[in-house]
Amino acid sequence: MRKMSLVLSVLVILSLLFSFSLVWAQEGASELEIKTADAAFEAADKGNPDPAWKGQKLTIGVYSAGPRGAISGPLYFWRPYFEKLTGATYDIVEIPFAELREKIFTDLMTGTGTYDIIVGPSWFYGDYISNDWIVPSDKYLNDPRMPKWEPASILPPLQELYSWGGKWVGFNNDHDGQVLYYRRDILNDPKWQEEFKKETGKDMPVPPKTWDEVYEITKFFHGKDWNGDGEPDYGITMHLKVAGQGFFHFMALSAPYVVAPAPGDDPNKVTRYHNVYWFDPETMEPLVNTPGFVEALNMLLKLSKTGPSAMWGWSLGEAWDAFLRGKAVICFSWGDVGSLSQLPDQSSIKGKLGVAPIPGSEKYYDLETKQWVEKRNFVANTVGASWHGVISKFSKNQDLAAYFLSWQATPPINHWNVVWGWTGVDPGTLYDLLQPTGKSTIEEYVATGYEAEDAKQFVNAYEEMWYKYPLKQSYLRIPGTPEMWEIWDIHLSEAVTGQVTPEEALNRTAEDWNAIIDRLGREQLKKIYQEAIGYKPE
Amino acid sequence: MSKKRHRIVETLLWIVVVIVVLWVVSPFYWAVITSFKKPADVFRLSSIPWVQFRPTLNNWQTEFNQRGPEITRGLLNSVTIAIGASVFAVFLGSLAGYGLARHRYTKWRNQSMSFWFLSQRFLPPAATVIPFFLLMKSLKLLDTQIALILVNTTFVMPFAVLIMRDMFKELPVELEEAAWVDGCSRWQSFVRIALPLAAPALVATVIICFAFAWNEFLFALVLTYKKASPMTVVIAGTEHTQGVQFWYVSTRLLLAIIPPTILALTVQKYIVRGLTMGAVKG
């Protein structure tokens, strides 16, 4: 009996402690956050909220990262403001990342309608559209009740991601793409530049513009004690573990080898052979085993040998950590690295961050002529999730859901989320870019804790990639995308770990993708794919 | 055995014991030290606080400050669901086990019925998750503790039936026959004679069922959204697009092992007695 009392006492104490912490949770934000958020709230357009919304409640499904975590964090942060604005509120349902698809698709497939809003990844679009599961945002753009956001401010490659068939489907929020991070202090150090020249006979290219230049640098630094800790350090760090999102690395790396500019006046024109990355839009035959991909995979293998072999088993956290604590001279990844590098408990490289747009290639493969073109090629990517909200067709309160998402998409609120890096909302609009191209100032980033030069490098790298790069890589938005990526991930790992040759790994991928396409319906997928990439058969 | 040989055997035994202890304790040690590390220290090979890394209470504070209500709710849900399912399963399992131990069925033979119960454990939960989802949706039980109590009961009941069947088989039927002679009905002899004698096995069965229900993840994930989500789902929430937050995994799993550990320690004498009952026959 005494023991049972002990058990109950412990449980009661734990419950009380955690319940009391509800009060503390609401005080988690800093004074500066509150002050700047208040200003953003005042500045944001508020539309004309319908009085009938008072007392109503929405449910938002989002991946699980907590009240101060990436993407879910802002939902918690802005809730009291939304309540003040509309008299309505919302529940936040956090879903673990690995189970996101099952949970959301089960809900949509069965028409359960638990979630009014889904803040999900862009690779769900194929299923959203083909199953008619979401209400396009286009419907609300001119609704006088809705706060005005600026679709035109979103940078061009991301505009495509947020729209379908020329119409807006999602509401602006996050912007993902991979860029190159490097150690500015090391690559600009005259001592290392001199050593590089002595060893290679060339000047060190800072920042590296192509993957060949990246390789030269990582090869030079790998195994040297360039950070002075008495131990050999790494050239590059990557997350190459199966299910560790390693295939996104390959996506960003391979794009310039594969995506060819269209001849004529408009290099961005999508033809059967130009500005295509995934499939032949006429046949839905995968391009994944064409020579451009093979060349890129060989480059990935070369690069992987200039980092620790342990990274074959690394996922995001481990890979980023090696760069953030100063063990790797280069990594390429999402905007998260830029914001994490400024956090003292995770990073030792604040003030030393160099960022460049994703490198290009020295040549690309022309699918039409079936020949290599010896010319530098630069291709912007929107690799990643670009987490943003869509409205479920099964929502009983679609207008209120649209109001919330429109309000969150307004420039002041969206930009506030971007400059406060903990939100996981990455830059991707004109008002995030620095003047003169954009509307933002470096002071806005410095005020939230960024080191000025780091922030400048970070934002300008995205500006150059999304605003100035001549070409862009299309995003895969067809049903079956998650399954295809999973298979690709496995076969890429087979190549990286030396089980099969790059050609074999990519042939296997193509074979498996063809099986999926046949299973889901080649003609139907072809139609969706053509729409998704804006291809019009001639 | 010579003295020298005896010493060698003893030393080897000690080595084995130390290895086993290290094997068992190291995950807990990892969890404890990780919960006191800064994120930047988590990926380093450091295991001695103050020597290899400076411990911090930040992770615990953050969990209390930001995830407090969710963790409280998760713990309470886990306790409710695990207790509900185990009590329900043991109640039904005792009745079924008693029936199988004391009666001989002819149409469906006892052995077949026992095997049928056991077969429920062979069934992969993933195969039944969608039917259960649709069922709970129709019954408007999604995101309720009742749904998880019912589902977990279904999956842990085979243990209860089989353990209790064996337990009742071990009890001398003469004790109940004597009670019948004294005027007890079958039900009364079950409640007053058989059940009290089977108490150690009942407790052990409750603990086993509790452990299974406590650790269940798949159904919890699919059938709940927020209100009824147990700790397994809360722990899984530490993996997101910025990778697994190991420092929060460790805090949550330490919190999650407290209730079952205390429960097991409280009733451990019953577990040993219950599980070994009938192991030695006179």
Q: What is the mean pLDDT of each run of 10 residues along chain A (538 residues)?
A: 57 53 53 95 97 97 88 95 97 87 90 94 93 96 97 95 93 97 98 97 97 98 96 95 87 98 94 97 97 98 95 90 95 94 92 98 97 98 96 97 98 97 94 96 96 97 96 95 93 93 97 97 95 89
In the structure encoding, which two tokens stand for residue B77, read together? 């849900």
- Model-level pTM greater than 0.95? no
pLDDT of residue B97: 93
C-alpha to C-alpha distance for A75 and A120, rounded to whole angstroms: 13
Q: Is A84 exposed, middle or buried (0-12, 13-18, 19+ CB in 10 A)?
A: exposed
Out of B39, B68, B246, closest to residue A18 by CB? B68
Helices (H), A305-371: 316-324, 335-340
Q: CB distance B40–A98 less than 8 Å?
A: no
Q: B258 and chain A: CB distance < 8 Å anywhere? A: yes
Q: CB distance A346–B40 less than 8 Å?
A: yes
Identify the closest residue of chain A to B79 by CA–CA distance. Answer: A11
Q: Please tell me which residue, B52 or A257, carries the higher pLDDT value.
A: A257
| CA-based nearest residue to B225, from B70, B76, B93, B98 | B70
pLDDT of residue B276: 57
Partners of A103 on chain B (C-beta within 8 Å) are 221-222
pLDDT of residue A1: 52
Instruction: Quick: pLDDT tens for B88-128.
Output: 999 999 999 999 998 888 888 888 888 888 888 788 888 88
Asked if pLDDT for residue B267 goes beyond 90, the answer is no
Q: Please tell me which residue, B46 or A75, carries the higher pLDDT value.
A: A75
pLDDT of residue A24: 40
Q: CB distance B244–A20 less than 8 Å?
A: no
Shortest distance, CA B142 to any CA of chain A (angstroms): 10
Q: CB distance A96–B246 less than 8 Å?
A: no
Q: What interface predicted TM-score (ipTM) does this complex get?
A: 0.73
Tell me whether the omega of the peptide bond preceding residue A256 falls within 30 degrees of 0, making it cis. no
C-alpha to C-alpha distance for A130 and A127, rounded to whole angstroms: 5
pLDDT of residue B69: 87
Out of B64, B143, B221, closest to residue A21 by CB? B64
How confident is the prediction for chain B on average, in pLDDT? 88
Out of B79, B134, B221, closest to residue A110 by CB? B134
Partners of A99 on chain B (C-beta within 8 Å) are 221, 236
pLDDT of residue A236: 98
**Which amino acid type is present at position A219?**
K
C-alpha to C-alpha distance for A118 and A103, rounded to whole angstroms: 11
Q: B237 and chain A: CB distance < 8 Å anywhere? A: yes
| CA-based nearest residue to A122, from A481, A488, A489 | A481
For tokens 């918690």, name the residue.
A76
pLDDT of residue B274: 59
Evaluate whether A67 touches A51 at the Cβ level (below 8 Å): no
Out of B40, B43, B137, closest to residue A345 by CB? B40
Helix/strand/coil for B34: helix
Q: CB distance A317–B79 less than 8 Å?
A: no
C-alpha to C-alpha distance for A219 and A306, rounded to whole angstroms: 5
Q: CB distance A14–B68 less than 8 Å?
A: no
Q: CB distance B265–A28 less than 8 Å?
A: no
Q: CB distance B239–A97 less than 8 Å?
A: yes
**Which run of H or E residues covers position A206?**
none
Helix/strand/coil for B160: helix
Partners of A24 on chain B (C-beta within 8 Å) are 64-65, 68
Evaluate whether A346 touches A224 at the Cβ level (below 8 Å): no
For tokens 């089980």, name the residue.
A499
Q: CB distance A19–B72 less than 8 Å?
A: yes
pLDDT of residue A317: 86
C-alpha to C-alpha distance for A512 and B109, rounded to whole angstroms: 48
Residues 6+ apart with CB under 8 A from A457: A184, A353, A354, A355, A356
CB atoms within 10 A of CB B105: 12
Q: B137 and chain A: CB distance < 8 Å anywhere? A: yes
pLDDT of residue B145: 96
